A = this chain, B = another copy of it.
Amino acid sequence: MKIEESFRVSLLVDFYKNLLTQKQRKIITDFIDNNISISELAQIYNTSRQAINDLIKRTIKVLEGYEEKLNLLHKFEMIREKVKKSLEILDSKETNSSNEIKKELNSVLEIM
């Protein structure tokens, strides 16, 4: 898996993990976030590499299906981008209110 795809799947897991089954969630997290290889996962779960590979592919399909329907990861990314832009503007020009606004906008970023 390419690094960009891995990063996207990691974000999708963050968003939709509670809609996965326990097994899907555990294995995709081990694979994506904990960098456990398919071979190692096959050993841990006492199954074939093919079975782990299939489960990971199915799980990614489920995650992409939720994003296709809800589009929430995309919306959150747009929000994050715009808020970051706002913060950049604030950084570039000193104003009296800038600290207040920064506090607000930083707390927005913490939510996401």
Q: Which A residues are within 8 Å of any B CB, using their own CB? A: 15-16, 18-19, 66, 69-70, 72, 75, 78-79, 82-83, 85-86, 89-90, 92-93, 95-98, 100-101, 104-105, 107-108, 111-112
Contacts and interface: CB of A to CB of B under 8 A. Distances in A.
Contacts of A93: 95-97
B95 A96 contact: yes
A104 B90 CA distance: 11
Nearest to A74: B111
Contacts of A66: 19
A68 B97 CA distance: 37
Of the candidates A66, A82, A93, the one having the most CB atoms from chain B within 10 angstroms of its own CB is: A82
Contact of A70 (B18, B79, B92): B18
Contacts of A70: 15-16, 18-19, 72
Contacts of A18: 69-70
B107 A101 contact: no
